[in-house]
Chains A and B, each alone.
Chain A
Amino acid sequence: MKLRKLPLRLFFLLLGHATIAAEQPAPQSIILASTTSVENSGLLAHILPAFTKETGITVHVLAQGTGQALQTAARDDADLVLVHDPEAEQKFIAAGDGIDRQQIAWNDFIAVGPRAEPAHIAGTHDAVAALKLIASAQAPFVSRGDKSGTDALEHRLWHAAEIDPAKAGGGSWYRDIGGGMGAALNAAQAMNAYTISDRGSWLSFANKGDLTVLVEGDPLLLNRYDVILLNPTKHLVPKQALAEQFAQWLVSAEGQTAIGAYKVQGEQLFHPSAAAPK
């Protein structure tokens, strides 16, 4: 008897767990497809509790690259996006997938690399010239290679420098890792390589090692974050009202103040810009 009962008891125990796992999200929840730079930098964790407290809406955040986030939304698997690649965003809107793009904040991209750096780009303010120097020195350079906003910016810069890095250094100094910002910074740190990062990810990255900021202040390195809603004529948008509410909160005085108040090691990561888009 004993032998027969134990599996039965175990089964019911596990069934109990199963009901917990089958627990659906709170009725008031939306999925935000976003980029690693706003999630991993801690910005969303900092500002979301205030929004949830005020509205009762839980925001589930997917931290993906911009390319993947837009894809996720295009497949109807997210309710809105918060991304940072103007060109990809325009395509998304032109394809009829997105509407109501609003800029919520900006910061900048930076080129980072080892302190003892072979291409001598430290302290300069011209990103395109810096990439040319890196290429001619054949110095190790880590590329995200993941169609994220940062990856797109990097490729725009190479294009401006009239260099095809994969052709010039693929398999040798140009290392396309196909990973997120954190993975790229980890790789650059380990390989004494250069890479391009957004400011937020860089400041909150904890394994900097010998890496340091080398190039900043080029207008080309401007990094804008936009929130985009899904176009109801093409998508199901079951939670459009909630998504709209969140987008409106982000550009409201309250949301903007919360974004501006977020600091890592005393430094402001994101500059609110809904009132005066950059």
Chain B
Amino acid sequence: MGDVWAALGTVEFEHIVGLSLTVSFCATAIAAVVGLPCGAALAICRFPGRRLLVLLANAFLGLPPVVVGLALYLMLSRSGPLGALALLFTPSAMVIAQALLAAPIITALAHRAIEEPWQEYGGALRVDGATRLRSIRMLLAIARRSVVTAVLADFGRTISEVGAVLIVGGNIAGYTRIMTTAIVLKTSEGELGLALGFGLVLIGISIAVSTSAFVLWERR
């Protein structure tokens, strides 16, 4: 156990934890900014192809991270279509991968959360002459508890994900190594105690972030 404590105090470990949190925060934020309005729009707007989009958002709930990682790898590779951006094996690539995985989740959950209040208050909002944009904002406020849950679920997925970030991040020491990829690495080095220690820290951080976000929101 002494090894574990020693490793947890190092600068390298601090960077790993910091990057884990940063990547997850950014990906969740992007997914929320894109997914919440999309989910709400799917709930209240009527347009051709809407049902298909709802179906897709729900189908993509189970998007396999490894496949998303591989597809993104091929896109971002220097010999791929987006190669000129030089994003492969950078933290930015990891954020993109995570956001791609997280966006459908938040879209589907927001859609589900808004559907019911829209049926309940939709008529009143329309009578009020509320624009669709204003309706979306009102409904997201009404359904905020479910929305917070959706965002936290997204954060949980991103911070615990390993397949996609390993492929597009490359697990480069001091640069793209995060908690989950460090755990994989330590396991493969046979440092099982250290891997487990990292794992417990990851669980702790994940729980702490989710609980404090939840408590803060409830106390508002």
Name the interface residues of A126-175: CB closer than 8 Å to any CB of B.
none
Residue in A closest to B95 when the chains form the complex, CB atoms: A21
Name the interface residues of B71-91: CB closer than 8 Å to any CB of A.
77-80, 83, 86, 88-91
Q: Which residues of B contact A75 (CB under 8 A)?
A: 77-80
Name the interface residues of A1-40: CB closer than 8 Å to any CB of B.
2-3, 6, 11, 14-15, 17-18, 20-25, 31, 36, 39-40
User: B91 touching A21 by the CB < 8 A rule?
Assistant: yes
Residue in A closest to B18 when the chains form the complex, CB atoms: A20
Q: Which residues of A contact B107 (CB under 8 A)?
A: none
- Contacting residue for B172 out of A18, A21, A62, A207, CB 8 A: A62
Q: In whole angstroms, what is the CA distance A23 to B170 when docked?
A: 16
Given contacts A21-B95, A207-B190, contact A76 B170 (CB under 8 A): no
Cβ-based interface call for B220 (8 A): yes
Name the interface residues of A242-260: CB closer than 8 Å to any CB of B.
none
Q: In whole angstroms, what is the CA distance A180 to B91 when docked?
A: 24
Cβ-based interface call for A61 (8 A): yes
Q: In whole angstroms, what is the CA distance A35 to B85 when docked?
A: 26
User: B188 touching A236 by the CB < 8 A rule?
Assistant: no
Q: How many residues on the A side are at the interface (Cβ–Cβ under 8 A)?
A: 40
Cβ-based interface call for A63 (8 A): yes
B179 to chain A, nearest CB (A): 15
Cβ-based interface call for A176 (8 A): no
Cβ-based interface call for A94 (8 A): no
Interface residues, chain A, CB within 8 Å of chain B? 2-3, 6, 11, 14-15, 17-18, 20-25, 31, 36, 39-40, 45, 60-63, 75-77, 179-183, 185-186, 189, 204-208, 236
Interface residues, chain B, CB within 8 Å of chain A? 19, 22-23, 25-26, 28-30, 33, 77-80, 83, 86, 88-92, 94-95, 141, 170-173, 175-176, 185, 187-192, 220
Extra inter-chain contacts (15) besides given A39-B173, A45-B173, CB under 8 Å? A3-B220, A6-B220, A11-B29, A14-B29, A17-B29, A18-B26, A75-B77, A76-B78, A77-B89, A182-B190, A183-B187, A183-B188, A186-B187, A204-B189, A206-B191
16 contacts between A and B (CB under 8 A): A11-B33, A14-B25, A22-B91, A24-B92, A25-B90, A40-B188, A40-B189, A60-B176, A62-B89, A62-B171, A63-B171, A63-B185, A75-B79, A76-B79, A182-B189, A183-B188
